[in-house]
Structure 1
Amino acid sequence: MQPSTVSALFFWKFHYVHLPLLLNLAKVHLDACGTSVPSESAFSCSAFVARKERSRLSPENLSYSVFLKDKLDKN
């Protein structure tokens, strides 16, 4: 069998019968969490930066501001 570049879901759709033990491991390890702390933090930061007092901030400048705040806070 040749290596393939198809997604993991496509692979398991066809091979779940032949690999039942690995299927259980794949279900645990390929499951994506619904939320993450970094994304929640980014949304919180963007809500603060884009508050009512800064309503004239363009979407592009808002994006740059949130990006810079995230990068500067990590150092």
Structure 2
Amino acid sequence: MAADLSFFQSETAQNLRAEGRAEGRAEDILLLLERRGVDVSEQDRERIRGCGDLDVLGVWFSRAITAQSVAEVFASGGGESLG
């Protein structure tokens, strides 16, 4: 008997996977900032954790690599509207 795997292809499953990727990326950003010694307020932590847009989180992650402050992570440049 073949197992019904339709759930794993469903929109719900896709949304759960995307949510998990966003949560993981947010935690990566926070860890990176912490390890680099950048202070992150509780409000900024919630903003990062609350973001579900993988593209925005990707930009923030890239900025977090060199940012000296969280403001630099969130700064919009080049016409981007982030967060």
Larger Rg: 1
Structure with more contact order per residue of length (Cα contacts < 8 Å, sep ≥ 6): 2
The bucket for the TM-score relative to the shorter chain is 0.3 to 0.5
For normalisation by structure 2, the TM-score amounts to: 0.32
What is the TM-score when the length of structure 1 is the normalising length? Answer: 0.34
